[in-house]
Amino acid sequence: MVSRIKVVLIFLFFSTSITFGSLDEQKAKWKGKIEFENGVKVIKNPSEPLYGEITYELEEDLSIGNEDDENYMFYRTVRIAVDAEENILVSDSGNCRIQKYDKNGNYLQTIGGKGQGPGEFEESWGIHLDSEDNIYVGDSRRHNINVFGKTGEFKRVIRLPSFTFNFGATKEENVLMIYTSRIPEKPREKKPHLS
């Protein structure tokens, strides 16, 4: 039993030494120089990158857009959310609407629109979903959040303090917000008037 433990320990020692030894060889070596010129330390980096040329290959997964159909045109798109059914919801702030697409990018419906009534926006600025796929859309001009059901029906309005910068929705339908209040200006001291 003791000899078996020794064999296992020796094997682990050699395998870790080989692993760390090979990792050490793979590290890139910096090829720059450190020199002193007139008492000042100068670091000179080489012109070639440390790890060689880095290239990226991008592959398009999905493209949503069509210049012949208004339902695929966006003006100042702000946020995107994806629901549990993999539908894509786009907050189109310039057109004051939420556009809903299936996972293949096919148009499903428009939620909300420009206006001041229930479920309408003057400027939509964010979109969040809760665990039931209820849709929360902020209106930055009216300082509120419009709440829609997952099928797009208007449910309610949540009023916000006037200096709310961003918000989110939790699984329990709670709204979290980043809020700052305006600091009142100090009254000016009245200086005595000399005549």
pLDDT mean over 109-113: 93
C-alpha 48/C-alpha 130 separation (Å) is 48
32 pLDDT band, cuts 50/70/90, is confident
- 90 - beta bridge partners? 80, 99
pTM over 0.85: no
pLDDT mean over 132-161: 85
C-alpha 127/C-alpha 111 separation (Å) is 12
Domains of the chain: 75-179 (2.120.10.30)
pLDDT in tens, 74-104: 887 678 899 999 999 998 888 889 999 999 9
Contact 74, 90 (CB under 8 A): yes
